[in-house]
Amino acid sequence: MFEQIKEWISRRGSVEAHHDLAHLPMPKRLGVLPELSQLRMVVLDLEMTGLNPSKDHVIAIGAVAIDCLQIPLRDQFDLILRRPELDISETVLIHGIGPEALVRGHETEDALLYLLEWMNGDPILAFHSDFDQKFLEKTLKQTLGYKEPHIWLDVADLMPALLNDAPKGGGRLDNWAEHCALEVSERHHAAADALATAELSLIALNRALKNDLTILEQVMERMRYHRRLKALHRQ
């Protein structure tokens, strides 16, 4: 991954010389996306200094692509951001990222520009996506002035909407991974969690195809329908 970043930076030159965000890929829109069997989506997992988007910060990004309902091994990465000024004393035992890692990490601007180019405007999947979306959008706006909205799907909603059975113990990532007999190499590690989320997403998307849901709009409509049913049951 370090060599990929170095090669990318050498092709672009200095970050300051390429801060024209118009040259970055624009987010794709519903209605022009290919069918699920041909669609590329990206799965993100972020590690933060805490849980409050207004004051905490992103320190690591795990990213995995789903392309044509497969997970290409070369189309994923794991980045720790260079943020030595941050206090991570309260969360280091959770994510295992210590102060020395934040000193050696990638420059935040370089990493975010690389992420946006790699994402290529494709739809984003994340487990409890509202959380990751708030942090990433805040970081992109503060660091790059980037405000373009992407399509986000919450895998925590995607799974129960497409699978009739539910895991014991709740709907957390760990519960779904155990329910689907997945082996998660390391929890609270951005790359490992992104890969687990991608594998769960593939299970759900393949179930969508079996139910004749062939495009992303149909999947999102199924998710909205499931949320409405849950809301009715709570009343």
pTM of the model: 0.86
Residues of the chain with pLDDT under 50: 1-2, 8-10, 13-19, 93
pLDDT tens digits, residue range 50-62?
888 888 889 899 9
pLDDT value, residue 18: 44
pLDDT value, residue 73: 87
pLDDT value, residue 162: 95
- CATH architecture entry for 2-14+32-160+169-234: 2-Layer Sandwich (3.30)
pLDDT value, residue 13: 44
pLDDT value, residue 157: 95
pLDDT value, residue 93: 39
25-48 residues labelled b (16+ CB within 10 A) or e (exposed): eebbeeeebeebeebbbbbbbbbb
pLDDT value, residue 89: 61
